[in-house]
């Protein structure tokens, strides 16, 4: 069973990615876990500590994700990456990077630094996967690998946000178009 501390991080993550960083409070979490407000402060003295922990959790998750995919071929790696965003969209959340980007200017630098590390981690990983996939003739694209990675990431990233507003077909359309373009 996860510890209270872990539960707080998970709940905070859900709140942040469902309602935004500034729309959740300590009591939201306390009520759900049926503990007192101060108990949350015991584990995370300030809200920014909690924000940092959430991003740290994402960084660890992504490292695991990378590790699990290491031996697979590049097309499958990209597809799995896209499916990951698909599941985010289905659960009504958005990407953590997007959630923090909106509230960027109301976040302390320590948390900003963590988000920056997380973002670069994703971009660098996808850049390398695309590069390797192109060399092995598994993937096709014309832009430089990092630019292509940015294009795909921004597609996924914003599609989860847009799908909230329009309808979920839009997400699937974009996702399928990305795969098609890479495999022509």
- Please give the residue ranges that form the binding site for its own copies (CB under 8 A): 18-23, 92, 94, 97-106, 112, 115-116, 119-120, 123, 142-144, 146-148, 150-151, 153-159, 161-162, 164-166, 170, 173-174, 177-178, 180-181, 184
Contact with DNA (CB under 7 A): which of 14, 18, 41, 101?
41
| From DNA, its own copies, none, interface partner of 76 (C-beta below 5 to 8 A by class) | none
CB under 5 to 8 A by kind: which of DNA, its own copies, none does 61 bind? none
Using alpha carbons, select from 49, 66, 59 the residue that is nearest to residue 116.
59
* Orientation angle between helical segments 4-19 and 26-33, nearest 10 degrees: 130
**104 in contact with DNA (CB under 7 A):** no
- Among residues 7 and 116, whose Cβ is nearest to DNA? 7
How far apart, in whole angstroms, are the C-alpha atoms of residue 86 and residue 182? 18
Question: Binding-site residue total for DNA (CB under 7 A)?
Answer: 20
164 burial via Cβ count (<10 Å: 0-12, 13-18, 19+):
middle
In degrees and rounded to multiples of 5, residue 139 shows phi and psi of -130, 145
- Asked if residue 72 binds DNA (CB under 7 A), the reply is no
Helices (H) and strands (E) in the chain, counts: 9, 0
Q: Is 48 in the site for DNA (CB under 7 A)?
A: yes
36 binds DNA (CB under 7 A): yes
Q: Which does 97 bind (CB under 5 to 8 A by kind): DNA, its own copies, none?
A: its own copies
Sign of CA dihedral 119, 69, 93, 33: negative
């Amino acid at each position: 069973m996860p510890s209270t501390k872990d539960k707080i991080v998970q709940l905070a993550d859900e709140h942040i990615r469902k309602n935004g960083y500034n729309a959740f409070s300590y009591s939201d979490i306390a009520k759900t876990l049926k503990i007192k407000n101060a108990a949350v402060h015991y584990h995370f003295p300030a809200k920014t500590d909690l924000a940092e922990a959430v991003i740290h959790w994402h960084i660890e998750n992504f490292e695991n994700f990378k590790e699990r995919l290491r031996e697979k071929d590049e097309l499958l790696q990209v597809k799995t990456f896209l499916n990951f965003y698909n599941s985010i969209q289905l659960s009504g959340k958005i990407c953590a990077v997007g959630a923090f980007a909106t509230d960027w200017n109301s976040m302390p630098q320590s948390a900003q630094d963590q988000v920056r590390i997380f973002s670069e981690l994703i971009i660098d990983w996808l850049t390398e996967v695309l590069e390797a996939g192109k060399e092995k003739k598994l993937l096709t694209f014309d832009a430089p690998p990092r630019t292509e990675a940015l294009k795909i990431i921004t597609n996924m990233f914003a599609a989860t946000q847009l799908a909230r507003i329009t309808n979920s077909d839009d997400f699937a359309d974009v996702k399928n178009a990305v795969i098609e373009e890479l495999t022509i």
